[in-house]
């Protein structure tokens, strides 16, 4: 299927690893020019190389999205290197967790800066310009934790729920100007980040890591973790012409982990 993004300019944050890297690669394979944004310079360069192998133009920007002015700098870099931003994927994040009894205000603040303020700054820099041109696709990578909070990662879950509200607000504000804004809610995904969470869980609970992995896999209806490419494909679809009438949606992509009707 031709997603209709050939020649479009995409910005993907969190693009050096995991879901962001997979999304950047799939957009590049569809002919989009991609600015890959992340903190790991070597991994970022490798990801950009994968995008070029797929046939897309790829540039990189090594930056911490939580720093002051990062949103503006990211958009300016994309405009300078590739052109006006058409597609924006906000995937930078972490699932760092701490048990409820040990949570502090600093834990909430850390997640707040990364998962809410950083996307907000990026939206503010990119979305009004999309609206002026009458076209844009924005996708945030949230989490099923925003629907089913865990006492083991409550700060993360609370802020991810706020991220959903932010995304919906932008969707409603810019729908009539040709900009769609949606979220993807992954469950467990086979990434380095998720592996780190499982290792931390095993340590905190004092149980063997294989037992923690087996329990986490069993929590999904499919009995396995998703691959980054499976989530990346949903992101690419939401960036497509075929998804022109989809906005304000939160696409659960969790292998059946959350057993709910909506």
**126, 79 Cβ separation under 8 angstroms:** no
Whole-angstrom Cα distance, residue 179 to residue 116?
20
**7, 32 Cβ separation under 8 angstroms:** yes
Whole-angstrom Cα distance, residue 145 to residue 221?
16
Residues sharing a CB contact under 8 Å with residue 104, sequence separation 6 or more, in sequence order: none
What SS3 state is found at 233?
helix
Whole-angstrom Cα distance, residue 203 to residue 55?
43
Handedness of CA 99, 67, 235, 18 (dihedral sign): negative
Helix (H) / strand (E) element for 184: namely strand 179-186
Active-site pick, 135, 156, 251, 262: 156
* Alpha-helix runs per DSSP H in the chain: 18-29, 41-53, 70-81, 105-112, 118-133, 154-174, 192-205, 209-218, 228-238
In DSSP terms, 9 is beta-bridged to 33
Whole-angstrom Cα distance, residue 229 to residue 198?
20
Whole-angstrom Cα distance, residue 220 to residue 9?
35
**Among this protein's residues, is 156 annotated catalytic?**
yes
- By annotation, the residues acting in catalysis are 156
């Amino acid at each position: 299927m031709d997603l209709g993004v050939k020649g479009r300019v995409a910005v993907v944050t969190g693009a050096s690893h995991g879901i962001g890297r997979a999304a950047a690669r799939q957009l590049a394979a569809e002919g989009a020019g991609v600015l890959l944004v992340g903190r790991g310079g070597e991994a970022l360069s490798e990801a950009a190389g994968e995008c070029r192998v797929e046939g897309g133009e790829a540039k990189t920007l090594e930056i911490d999205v939580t720093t002051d002015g990062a949103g503006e700098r990211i958009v300016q870099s994309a405009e300078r290197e590739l052109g006006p931003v058409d597609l924006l994927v906000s995937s930078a994040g972490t699932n760092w967790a701490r048990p409820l009894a040990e949570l502090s205000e600093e834990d909430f603040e850390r997640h707040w800066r990364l998962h809410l303020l950083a996307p907000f700054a990026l939206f503010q820099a990119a979305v009004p310009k999309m609206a002026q041109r009458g076209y844009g696709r924005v996708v945030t990578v949230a989490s099923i934790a925003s629907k089913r909070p865990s006492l083991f990662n409550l700060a993360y879950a609370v802020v991810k729920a706020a991220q959903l509200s932010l995304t919906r607000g932008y969707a409603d504000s810019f729908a009539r100007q040709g900009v769609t804004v949606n979220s993807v809610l992954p469950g467990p995904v086979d990434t380095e980040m998720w592996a780190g969470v499982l290792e931390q869980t095993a340590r905190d609970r004092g149980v063997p890591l294989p037992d923690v992995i087996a329990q986490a896999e069993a929590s999904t209806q499919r009995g396995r973790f998703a691959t980054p490419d499976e989530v990346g494909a949903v992101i690419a679809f939401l960036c497509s012409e075929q998804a022109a009438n989809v906005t304000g949606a939160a696409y659960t992509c969790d292998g059946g982990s959350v057993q709910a009707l909506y």
